[in-house]
Chain A
Amino acid sequence: MTIDDRDARIPGGPRSMTSAPGPRQTSRDLERYAGLFAARTKVMKSSAMRDLMALTERGDIISLAGGLPDTSSFPAASFAAIMGDVAVDSTARCLQYGPTEGLAVLKSCIAEVMAEEGTTVDPDDVLVTTGGQQVIDLVCKTLIDPGDIIIAEAPTYPGAVPTFCSYQADVIQIGLDEDGMRIGELEQTLDRLDRDGRRPKFIYTVPTFQNPGGTTMSLPRRRRLVEVVRERELLVLEDNPYGLLRYEGEPLPTLYALEGGDFVIYLGTFSKILSPGVRLGWSIGPRPVLEKMNIGKQASDLCSSSLTQLFVAAYFDSGRWQDYVHSLKEIYRRRRDVMLDALAECLGPESRWTHPQGGLFIWVTLPDYIDTTDLLALALDEHVAFVPGRAAFLDGRGASSMRLNFSGVGEADIREGVRRIGEVVREQVELYGTLTGTHEAVEAPAEPAPGEPDAELADVLHLPPAPERRAPPGAREG
């Protein structure tokens, strides 16, 4: 039948274009591709949230959703001068492939950055990667077969979720509190897995200024975690993008430094201390693991950009990188304080949030009847955005939480953005009160407590218990 057969009618029935004769078909166009897709694409999830997040990139939105560092304060003249020097001094090298493990000049810079945090490494042991994200990918590529277990934090870095899913890992999330991952809960989980004859391939943690929780693992917990992994001979992936961005409190040793590098794979990055645009990160860890990751990297991209490696090396040569990190810390500390003040002012007593000592994020938990994915739709109407908490879970939790970023926008926008979020939350709290006949917590908090953590927030992340484990690896979240 074609379009010209429009006069076809079923006598006495509806006007109809009946189907062409022959075998019944499902949609050919789709099947042609879908039939070729690998099994892993079934767990590589797109989501409504991702489409909503795309809206947050509109220019008229105050986005507290991103994880963007502020690159606007980098002096244009320095950038131009360094790039100019690199272009003139190393034209051919810039334009050429490099070794998979990275250029030696950059590896020295990496050792310098790690020394700044009290971790001594041999530059030769470093694997340079295309951003820190590639380390997560390479560790999975090296260690994870479909169905293997990864232990992560609850909440975990939202950007790791698609990576874990695409390797069809079975992710178990361990709760966090103000002192970081609950090691007791971790041990219980490991015991339980032991009884089932299962063993996680690695434990993924962002111990310092966690993304998205904003919390930091205490020194006793760090020590205990190191003991646990040594006793049980388990690998840890320590993701440490923000360690140098501390605004208060005493620096803590990295897990890598505490443990010595037998069981800890360390992930570092230039993204938050210099620029995510250079796409440079690194890893260091047990040599056999690093060697496999190196082979994995060859398969992925042969090598990271020579151009940006030489740029970063030249920048470090100029001897100003610590000053720049210092200036970033000043900017971010003020922004964090502005956000904490604004939260105290604009969110009612029914909401709670973390008080990060560094990093880029604050984790806010609203009353459990508010779903932040839906709230985002309302917030976008008010031209403000955040990351809904579900993005940080694989098990459907986090629905009432959100991640706020304070590094990427100016102080005035932070104040205004939080005010708007406060408005939409208040609207929902009031509506819920109307619907249930309870009018709890509609009044504004009595006294804002600028910059002060709430003493009662021992369980500041306020998570419901983990749901029953689902059997199939990578099963769809609820």
Chain B
Amino acid sequence: MTRVAVLKGGRSLERQVSLKSGARVQDALHRLGHDVVAIDVGHDLVRRLLESAPDVAFVALHGRDGEDGTVQELLEALGIPYTGSGVSACIRCADKVIAKNHMLDAGIPTPEFFAFNETAFKELGAADALPAIEERLGFPIVVKPAGQGSALGIKFADASKDVPGALVAAFSYGDKVLLERLVRGRDLAVSVLDGEVLPVVEAMPTDEEFYDFEARYEIGRTQFVCPAELPDEVTARAQELALQVWDVLGCRGFARVDLMLCTQSNELTVLEANAIPGMTETSLLPMSADAAGIGFDALIERIVELARL
């Protein structure tokens, strides 16, 4: 029997999502016969980890602190093996700008973008570059906070006049934002487990304009198709890209790579990689594992086995 500390909750904006992921993970660990210690991450995290002395920490946190390498760094310091990617991969995945730059360097297609921190606007006059950026990307432009998950803070600017407001909104979630060319098409996700790809999932929001927060977590808001109904070569290409991203970002254990299949060009582009994909009822990684014949409990067991320092 392994003692597993499930780290969940925390202070990020995705706290509720994390609590759902954590609860499902705990249930599975109980069924698997592990000794489970649930920790809602807060000021007493280190103390509670020292007290409970787990063999493994299952990081079911999303967003700030949990997914960006902070908690992983602490676990390294405490010598507790943990699930998922290591510190450096978490840092690369959590920041969309860093992740996309790595993809660009490796020749992996990702929608064209420009990224700035607040200082660029406040002290370097980046606002004067906006017309050039708008011309280059073409409207609508997607404006995203670099470090926020679950599609929070994402705005679509349809014209120049919308861009400042969209930037103000995105900067509410962090000090770095990106302006990205909008790719219209199909939302695909490829999950990777221990360096091997799982079947592609397609998320089709039923009436939302895009795969937003509500569509992500509310049962019945999105139709999921897994394996996605795609031509074989597109499936193979999506999986190939996901593995490239996995390798380039240095992921470990498990991860999920989000892609768009452009309706117009029929080309695949990678939007981002998630170091700690959700484990909720509506999350894509468990769905995709299930389609590969790996039930939720088997998935959780496998992720625990893959825990490392």
A234–B152 Cα distance when bound, in Å, is 42
Q: Contacts of A3 on B, CB cut-off 8 Å?
A: 293-294, 298, 302
Interface size (A, Cβ < 8 Å)? 50
Query: With an 8 A cutoff between CB atoms, is B33 at the interface?
Result: no
Q: How far is the CB of A391 from chain B (nearest CB, A)?
A: 14
Query: With an 8 A cutoff between CB atoms, is B207 at the interface?
Result: yes
Query: With an 8 A cutoff between CB atoms, is A195 at the interface?
Result: no
Q: Which of B121, B170, B217, B290 contacts A434 (CB 8 A)?
A: B121
Query: With an 8 A cutoff between CB atoms, is A232 at the interface?
Result: no
Query: With an 8 A cutoff between CB atoms, is A29 at the interface?
Result: yes
Interface readout for B195-225 with A: 1 if CB under 8 Å, 0 if not? 1111100000011100011100111100111
Q: Is the CB of B173 within 8 A of A377?
A: yes
Quick one: given A24-B225, A29-B290, A374-B172, are A15 and B197 in contact (CB under 8 Å)? yes
A10–B162 Cα distance when bound, in Å, is 46
Query: With an 8 A cutoff between CB atoms, is A428 at the interface?
Result: yes
Query: With an 8 A cutoff between CB atoms, is A375 at the interface?
Result: yes
Quick one: given A3-B302, A20-B292, A369-B165, are A15 and B207 in contact (CB under 8 Å)? no
Q: Which of A17, A34, A55 contacts B15 (CB 8 A)?
A: A55
Q: Please give me the 6 A-B residue pairs with the lowest Cβ-Cβ distance, nearest first.
A: A48-B213, A435-B164, A374-B172, A374-B169, A34-B220, A369-B165
Q: Is the CB of B225 within 8 A of A15?
A: no
Q: Contacts of A432 on B, CB cut-off 8 Å?
A: 164-165, 168
Taking each of A2, A47, A51, which has the highest tally of chain B beta carbons within 10 Å of its own beta carbon? A51
Spell out B's residues near A (CB within 8 Å): 11, 13-17, 118, 121-122, 127, 130, 150, 152-153, 163-165, 167-173, 193-199, 206-208, 212-214, 217-220, 223-227, 229, 236, 239-240, 242-243, 281-282, 287, 290-294, 298, 302
Q: How far is the CB of B11 from chain A (nearest CB, A)?
A: 7
A25–B302 Cα distance when bound, in Å, is 23
Mind listing 9 A-B residue pairs with CB under 8 Å? A6-B194, A16-B196, A17-B294, A51-B17, A378-B173, A428-B168, A432-B165, A436-B164, A476-B208
Q: How far is the CB of B166 from chain A (nearest CB, A)?
A: 9
Spell out A's residues near B (CB within 8 Å): 1-3, 6, 10, 13-20, 24-30, 33-34, 37, 41-42, 45-48, 51-52, 54-55, 58, 369-371, 374-375, 377-378, 380, 428, 431-432, 434-437, 476
Q: Which of B170, B196, B208 contacts A17 (CB 8 A)?
A: B196
Q: Which of B16, B153, B169, B220 contacts A54 (CB 8 A)?
A: B16
A377–B145 Cα distance when bound, in Å, is 12
A25–B168 Cα distance when bound, in Å, is 42
Q: Is the CB of A19 within 8 A of B172?
A: no
Q: Is the CB of B121 within 8 A of A25?
A: no
Q: Is the CB of A18 within 8 A of B199?
A: yes
Q: How far is the CB of A163 from chain B (nearest CB, A)?
A: 18
Closest to B170 in A: A374
Closest to B173 in A: A377
Q: How far is the CB of A48 from chain B (nearest CB, A)?
A: 4
Q: Is the CB of B219 within 8 A of A17?
A: no
Q: Is the CB of B172 within 8 A of A377?
A: yes
A362–B40 Cα distance when bound, in Å, is 34
Q: Is the CB of A17 within 8 A of B292?
A: yes
A25–B243 Cα distance when bound, in Å, is 24
Q: Contacts of B17 on A, CB cut-off 8 Å?
A: 51
